[in-house]
């Protein structure tokens, strides 16, 4: 089994504005760090190489990030032990706080790449029913 994750955010400013420039200008470098990280398997992207134009929950104001990793340790290593952490610490500069969970994780069969609809379902499940082996967070990680 591999680990799938989704995270969503609502930008404070239009993606092409000066307020989002530092974030947008670093998407490709941070995505490259992810793709070169041990345990990385796949990430959602469109023809531009990122996912900022892919809509989720039928809300054009939200941006989405989805990826698949070998395990939780690999995802944590990327998120908290690479240059990615510098941008994670700055998320309040660029994104509005959300009223409910903004990310979820779940186990997928090897070779399966989740769809946006599947990820919506997992995040909705986490928000409505709490943590389980169907959808969870770093707080209550479930084993494979």
CATH number of the domain within which 81 lies: 3.30.70.100
**What is the per-residue pLDDT for 144?**
67
Look up residue 124 and give its two tokens.
Answer: 């909705």
Look up residue 6 and give its two tokens.
Answer: 């989704």
Give the pairing of strands 2-11 and 40-43: unpaired
Domain count across the chain: 1
For residues 59 and 98, give the distance between their C-alpha atoms in angstroms, rounded to a whole number. 13
Q: For 81-127, write each residue's pLDDT tens digit.
A: 999 999 999 999 999 999 999 999 999 999 999 999 999 999 999 99
Question: Phi/psi at 137 (nearest 5 deg)?
Answer: -120, -175
For 94, the domain range is: 2-140
pTM of this prediction exceeds 0.85 = yes
């Amino acid at each position: 089994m591999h680990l799938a994750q989704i995270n969503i955010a609502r930008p404070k400013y239009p993606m092409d504005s000066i307020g989002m420039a530092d974030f947008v200008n670093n998407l490709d470098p941070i995505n490259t760090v992810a793709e070169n990280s041990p345990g990385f398997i796949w990430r959602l992207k469109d023809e531009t190489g990122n996912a900022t134009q892919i809509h989720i929950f039928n809300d054009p104001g939200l941006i989405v990030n989805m990826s698949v990793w070998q395990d939780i340790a690999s995802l944590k290593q990327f998120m908290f032990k690479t240059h990615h952490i510098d941008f994670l610490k700055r998320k309040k500069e660029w994104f509005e706080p959300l009223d409910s969970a903004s990310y979820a994780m779940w186990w997928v069969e090897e070779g399966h790449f989740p769809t946006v609809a599947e990820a919506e379902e997992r995040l909705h499940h986490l928000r409505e029913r709490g943590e389980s082996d169907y959808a969870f967070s770093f707080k209550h990680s479930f084993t494979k």
